[in-house]
Structure 1
């Protein structure tokens, strides 16, 4: 398999150098290009700076997803995208600038007497049909820079590598030439619900353009198709009939458009790339019935061609919506810290792109848009489905963008456990071990994090219900929520030896921060009970939470310094008390101000260059928990130090993978994980 796996250690051996182009707000470890689902996820790794035409784009896990672009100006060819090798000669366009926002990555390159602006837009929509559409835009705009007009042709292709995690699998293809010119690529023998190296093994990849005149196409061997454009300024409108393996003569899917004579007024061509599967998720029902769930957009469009046609024609509206969201995020985040908007903007596409919004069909075969579920892939760590301790740190992005999504992502877990199919008295860890199979854990042998999962579900349920004003989920699953509260009453004040969210650090008994989670969860159930009219129960749970806080203060105190311990009785230990964020978010004021003030003062003394370690066991930290902690400190200087040190990490040029949430606070290098949805937690400061 052709692969572009970068080792951060290689970059550490060299002196850091800034890119030769301008970057706004900074150059990240990896640039999102097309990021809309767990399987439509194309990135450009950066390190010290990689131009758009300096390397192949990759799938989030590092496998090549070849994406090529050429522009011909007065007969002279320039590469602006990818790293193609062909016998024909061409020049490299020179990258002048790069900018990213919450929804867009924008490159400007100079190709002789013209500038080429390449905008990658992965929309973030509140309309559920649009939100569930697994398509992304690439707009290529060309404008003269010397006052003269120039003849311009634009070419782009993708390879079959976008389709499969193995280059050995055979693929087949077809081209549609109606109102859209669209290449469709499929595996000859698809494997439904299966993955190889985290890439799906079924579905169809589409590469499309509006069929608006002076557009040509071709499917064939990479060097022949690309060479044909370089030689002829157009493609031959032929489709290679020889279906074959991804790596057999590397078939590519080319599209070209003649822009004619281009002046200082920009002329552009719009491409869309997408990965469409049906069904998208398998979900277990009572009786061991396996339900096939489909993307929400099918409720409006009966064919992929209809969806793609609408998507391409909707670009101006999608761009306006994106610009509005980008401006809102920039404005809201800048009010907190000048270093904060870039962190948030880099997090949004990554987090939302790990999710798929689904619906089911009724018995009569009609789409049931009242049965909506959101499924999240735990990208890069376990590959689980709707992992509760991944959903929880990601939850601020739902609270900020569209809180209904929070209820949709909880629903699969609630419904499964309410059916009685899960045997444990605490909340389940995830909806399935391997995305996209939501088959639960009927044996109860999922990864056990009892206090974490119960607390998370209670806190999220209340937070999403408050934000949406919709209490139906609280009513429907009241018995489960109460069951989990009973577990927290028994095990959260003095937690047994168990895993926390940070399972990579191992089990630990009497965890101070874990106890906070459980106590806040009990208090959340007090309010839920009050909402449901159970005032006596509410008063009881509220009293228990208050009593636990008083006892917890004694257990968690250190005798060697003014800070909370990592575990009761271990005075020399400490860690990020990020679970206090739940108390702040929900406005409970359960924990006294002195706790927050003490922790704030302590964090001032333990900062490394790239932040405060997660705890005393290691020098690594978590970016999501760092921002959550910044949201609970009482000193804006300390808050801003958390933000600035995190910005320093993601802009230091040492890493090349999509935003990793686990990194070393001393070296600034990735320790593990990449492209995970937990970066949605970086929006925590926007929701308190």
Structure 2
């Protein structure tokens, strides 16, 4: 039975006030140490990147890698979105967050302004050693970068793949980390002197700077160096070009990071420096039973300091946030402002945003917001001060004086600049002993308008009462949000801690320690890849919540059905209203007459513009099956089919399509489109059969027993035919495509037969598949199918849930955690990876990891 919660109060999901009070008593029994998180993942989880601020696809800041103070904090795309933190102990300054950097010298120029010579080929090199310096490339073609199919590209590339080798001679090796400056469609892998150092997926027509996280001295050498890269194209124009620069950092000593803990809504780091322990906690109150809090674009950073050597220490803390968080590309002119919210809990705030403020003026994948404003706020109090200025000026003042102060007066907007500025706050904690002293900061982002929906700009859900006009009115609305967030701080701190404990315990019971760790890792990422907005059909309580996903680093589509499908288990578990908000735009698109095809659309646009499908090719069977299955899952979760009743005519149109064309699919794309077209896809056929069965299930929920019997009977009849066509001659499993012996694939779509208890396929089908999959495991997971050794981790979780034995489930799940912990690509979790070596293949920070929660639905 699915768990559901429709209440908007915090009491629905969480503990009673008495339990919360007892919990707080327990937490305050301090022995002089800062308390650890409750509901934290096990020590076995070492996330490839740690979420810090996770508001939505635009305001999404992560620590890539293991140490919070090793490199700049970054947007999920890899662009620096810097949060810098400093600890001053008895006059000595230590860096605990970020690593203030600047772009240094060019190491190997890109072809952006001046072409460079390289060797290339567009057919396979025929050797895994093609990137090695000693590889014989004498038969390769010569060409100039950029390579591509656009008129501006210097060397034509019109095939699916290209391999490039470029020799670079260096007099000396730079000392900083390496940055990649790249433009590409659709992805690339970069090798330096034979070592793989970077990779990216998606489309980036503009040159993007991303960090390799590697020191130049570890990869390059004086004299000859081989820069090699491989790029693939899955659709649209081909283009690839890249260069290397060095990233230099300010000379600030690092505090020693002693621990890192992750729970569903919180990330906590502990540092030691100068006889002081500092605990820093990032809290994202993404509590799905309270949509106002979920949508409110404000999150928290808490600092707790205590002496650990028996001495008293004078302690100050510095925190800044860069204006780069509010621009798409460095160099965009910005303006800034400061103000104060009076009242019971007064706040001082700083804000920054672009001068242009072209609201909803950009769309795409590798794109960041450049409208609205970044806000930093802190409760007024003695020892708290603020500054807007350059990074160097702010840091230098804090080093000298232990505080920051702004010479600019009042709240007037300041001059426009195309240089990076920081919003800086300092806290003086006074003389600190062994009892923890705590402060906190609020970080928020007001996007003004969130989504354009068929020509109408929509407000974020928290702004649904917004009737203010102009910049001052907008500022007042954000001030109210900051004030409410401050008032809720302690209540939300309790609620998040309780929820984290509950989620971990439930996941542990459902699937074991490894599974619980994966659910913790996925939670914030899955939610923050969406935007919750108020629908256009009224205002106030009458507004309908719409929940738009973004296809992060897969093409930037908004409201994609085959992204909603794998993401759905998380939202079915905690609040089905959000899944309705994901499905509603697709239903509306068809019912409005804008989409006239007899099957469901793939998407409703390119984020954040939802004016109609922009994806270049339809997925007819895929999307019809997805919509029917998810509507049935909603009915199961809510105990009624009222939502299906609202959309019955279009559901009928889609099931008619599946009856006609779903069982034996033609050559078409499915959700695994990166693997290419395929005809007679057995797993896609399962989806069509389950879509037909779902329609029958819904009809039964609506009281139409005749239609229920008709469609469930049809689905069971098709399942028998499927078994005959898909059974491999060995009798050990079922094939990738009909009548194609020796092939295989994960049949993850079968999971809904089990979860909805429809009994369409005999149980032995799934169990035979599971037994076969256990013979195909690789070190980092079960391959997607027999064509390649890469996989999708969300589908592994679904496939594992088919298992009747807990041991088999855990055996299939464990390599996913190994991948997350050991992958060399330390970025927000990517769901498409290589099972043999743990390398990222493509995608990152996507919502589909919400699919990990499917095992929790079973219970």
Q: TM-score, normalised by structure 2?
A: 0.74
- Alignment correspondent of 2:436: 266
Question: In the aligned structure 2, how far is the partner of 1:553 from the partner of 1:209?
Answer: 63
- Alignment correspondent of 2:654: 484
Structure 1 window deviating more from structure 2 (504-513 vs 65-74): it is: 65-74
| Deviation of the 1:84 alpha carbon | 2.5
Structure 1 window deviating more from structure 2 (174-183 vs 189-198): it is: 189-198
Pair 1:554-2:719 in alignment: no
- Alignment correspondent of 1:10: none
Which residue, out of 199, 204, 207, partners 2:373?
Answer: 204
Mapped contact 1:219–1:238 kept (Cα < 8 A) = no
- Alignment correspondent of 1:6: none
Matches within 5 A, 1:210-221: 210-221=379-390
Question: In the aligned structure 1, how far is the partner of 2:838 from the partner of 2:731?
Answer: 27
Which residue, out of 533, 555, 578, partners 2:703?
Answer: 533
Question: In the aligned structure 2, how far is the partner of 1:477 from the partner of 1:609?
Answer: 45
Mapped contact 2:353–2:370 kept (Cα < 8 A) = no
Question: In the aligned structure 2, how far is the partner of 1:369 from the partner of 1:186?
Answer: 32
Matches within 5 A, 1:157-196: 157-178=320-341, 179-193=346-360, 194-195=362-363
Secondary structure, aligned partner of 2:543: strand
- Alignment correspondent of 1:439: 611
| Deviation of the 1:634 alpha carbon | 2.8
Pair 1:351-2:514 in alignment: no
- Alignment correspondent of 1:57: 73
Secondary structure, aligned partner of 1:303: helix
Pair 1:295-2:460 in alignment: yes
Structure 1 window deviating more from structure 2 (466-475 vs 257-266): it is: 466-475
* Structure-2 change in CA distance of 1:497 and 1:195 (3 Å): closer
- Alignment correspondent of 2:571: 398
- Alignment correspondent of 2:498: 324
Matches within 5 A, 1:380-391: 380-391=553-564
Question: In the aligned structure 1, how far is the partner of 2:78 from the partner of 2:426?
Answer: 28
Question: In the aligned structure 2, how far is the partner of 1:360 from the partner of 1:525?
Answer: 27
* Structure-2 change in CA distance of 1:385 and 1:93 (3 Å): same
Pair 1:113-2:254 in alignment: no
* Structure-2 change in CA distance of 1:124 and 1:40 (3 Å): same
| Deviation of the 1:33 alpha carbon | 0.8
| Deviation of the 1:373 alpha carbon | 1.2
* Structure-2 change in CA distance of 1:445 and 1:204 (3 Å): closer
* Structure-2 change in CA distance of 1:360 and 1:253 (3 Å): same
User: Which is greater in Rg?
Assistant: 2
Secondary structure, aligned partner of 2:544: strand
- Alignment correspondent of 1:579: 749
* Structure-2 change in CA distance of 1:90 and 1:613 (3 Å): closer
| Deviation of the 1:242 alpha carbon | 5.8
Question: In the aligned structure 2, how far is the partner of 1:167 from the partner of 1:572?
Answer: 52
Matches within 5 A, 1:628-667: 628-667=798-837
CA RMSD of aligned residues (A): 1.9
Mapped contact 1:428–1:446 kept (Cα < 8 A) = no
Mapped contact 2:537–2:543 kept (Cα < 8 A) = no
| Deviation of the 1:254 alpha carbon | 0.6
* Structure-2 change in CA distance of 1:88 and 1:556 (3 Å): closer
Deviation by residue 1:114-145 (Cα, 9 ceiling, x = unmatched): 10000011112121110111222111111111
Question: In the aligned structure 1, how far is the partner of 2:578 from the partner of 2:481?
Answer: 22
| Deviation of the 1:613 alpha carbon | 0.6
Deviation by residue 1:204-259 (Cα, 9 ceiling, x = unmatched): 1111111123211111111011111111111223349763445x2x2111111111
Secondary structure, aligned partner of 1:110: strand
Question: In the aligned structure 2, how far is the partner of 1:656 from the partner of 1:110?
Answer: 24
- Alignment correspondent of 2:87: 71
Mapped contact 2:42–2:517 kept (Cα < 8 A) = no
Structure 1 window deviating more from structure 2 (462-471 vs 496-505): it is: 462-471
Q: Which runs of 5+ in 2 are unaligned?
A: 1-40, 103-248, 467-475
Question: In the aligned structure 2, how far is the partner of 1:490 from the partner of 1:527?
Answer: 19
Mapped contact 1:556–1:564 kept (Cα < 8 A) = yes
Secondary structure, aligned partner of 1:64: coil
- Alignment correspondent of 1:411: 584
Secondary structure, aligned partner of 1:345: helix
Pair 1:281-2:451 in alignment: yes
Structure 1 window deviating more from structure 2 (354-363 vs 25-34): it is: 354-363
* Number of residue-to-residue matches in the alignment: 652
Pair 1:104-2:266 in alignment: yes
Question: In the aligned structure 2, how far is the partner of 1:304 from the partner of 1:201?
Answer: 17
Question: In the aligned structure 2, how far is the partner of 1:258 from the partner of 1:445?
Answer: 53
- Alignment correspondent of 2:405: 236
| Deviation of the 1:637 alpha carbon | 2.4
Question: In the aligned structure 2, how far is the partner of 1:465 from the partner of 1:295?
Answer: 27
- Alignment correspondent of 2:30: none
Matches within 5 A, 1:609-688: 609-688=779-858
Q: Which runs of 5+ in 1 are unaligned?
A: 1-21, 285-289
Q: TM-score, normalised by structure 1?
A: 0.92
* Structure-2 change in CA distance of 1:25 and 1:138 (3 Å): farther
